[in-house]
């Protein structure tokens, strides 16, 4: 994913006539009275035991036609006591976005309602592709987290973040969200 992110950012920066920025991948650790959950979007693991890693939704990567192959699908995970292997690499460390128990419950409940848009495409013409950052920003907005103080660390970008914000704030029905 890092190599793809660097390639994407290099092309995007060249088109926008700017220097490439660091690219960030967002994920959530949600702490509740019933445990800790990891919410993130990843490529599918080779095994088919989706329950063991908290998979609540899947979507196509690049094209719905290619999604018949596992390589071209992504998983949305809401994983109780899950593993976030790159948490130690978080730039500026983890950020607390809410301590409200009702908000965290709503966020976990919404995880399986993430729109299954095609990763890497801008199906709804938001100006950005749908990806892991879109999923996280969508969940935060829909669960009621105040977004005005949440931003990527300096000198970097989280591509797809705005797409999630725009789609979450658009109260369209799910049939609009799944159109190709």
Domain ranges of the chain: 25-173
Region 138-155 average pLDDT? 86
Structure confidence at residue 177 as a pLDDT band (50, 70, 90): very low
DSSP-derived secondary structure for 24-93: ----EEEEETTEEEEEEEEPPPSSS-GGGGTEEEEEEBS-TGGGGSGGGEEEEEEEET---TTGGG-TT-
Dump pLDDT digits (tens) for 12-42.
Answer: 889 889 998 888 888 899 999 999 999 999 8
Dump pLDDT digits (tens) for 149-168.
Answer: 787 777 788 889 999 999 99
Output b/e per residue, 91-112; b: 16+ Cβ within 10 A.
eeeeeebbeeeebbebbbebbe
Predicted local distance difference test score (pLDDT) of residue 23? 81
Structure confidence at residue 173 as a pLDDT band (50, 70, 90): very low
pLDDT for 122 beyond 90: yes
Predicted local distance difference test score (pLDDT) of residue 9? 81
How many Cβ atoms are within 10 Å of 67's Cβ, its own excluded?
19
Structure confidence at residue 112 as a pLDDT band (50, 70, 90): very high
In sequence order, the 6+-apart residues with CB closer than 8 A to the CB of 81 are 35, 36, 37
Q: What is the mean pLDDT of the chain?
A: 85
Asked if 77 contacts 132 with a C-beta cutoff of 8 angstroms, the reply is no
Dump pLDDT digits (tens) for 73-88.
Answer: 999 999 999 888 777 7
pLDDT for 180 beyond 80: no
Structure confidence at residue 1 as a pLDDT band (50, 70, 90): low
Strands 156-157 and 22-23: parallel
Looking at the chain, the number of H-run helices and the number of E-run strands are 5, 6
How many residues does this entry show for the chain?
A: 180
Dump pLDDT digits (tens) for 39-74.
Answer: 999 887 777 888 888 899 999 999 999 988 888 999
Predicted local distance difference test score (pLDDT) of residue 175? 38
Phi-psi region of 17 (alpha: psi -120 to 50; beta: other; left: phi over 0): left
Structure confidence at residue 7 as a pLDDT band (50, 70, 90): confident
């Amino acid at each position: 994913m890092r190599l793809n992110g660097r390639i994407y950012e290099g092309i995007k920066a060249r088109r926008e006539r700017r220097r490439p920025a660091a690219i960030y991948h967002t994920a959530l650790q949600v702490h509740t009275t019933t445990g800790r959950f990891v919410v993130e979007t990843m490529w599918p693991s080779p095994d088919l035991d989706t329950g063991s890693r908290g998979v609540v939704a899947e979507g196509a990567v690049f094209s719905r036609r290619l999604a018949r192959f596992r390589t071209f699908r992504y998983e949305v995970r809401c994983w109780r006591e899950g593993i976030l292997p790159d948490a130690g690499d978080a730039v500026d460390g983890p950020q607390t976005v809410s301590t409200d128990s009702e908000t965290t419950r709503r966020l976990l409940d919404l995880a399986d309602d993430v729109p299954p848009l095609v990763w890497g495409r801008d199906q709804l013409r938001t100006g950005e592709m749908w990806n892991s950052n879109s999923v996280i920003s969508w969940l935060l907005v829909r669960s009621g987290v105040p977004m005005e103080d949440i931003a990527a660390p300096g000198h970097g970008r989280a591509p797809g973040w705005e797409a999630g914000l725009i789609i979450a704030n658009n109260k369209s029905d799910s049939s609009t969200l799944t159109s190709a």
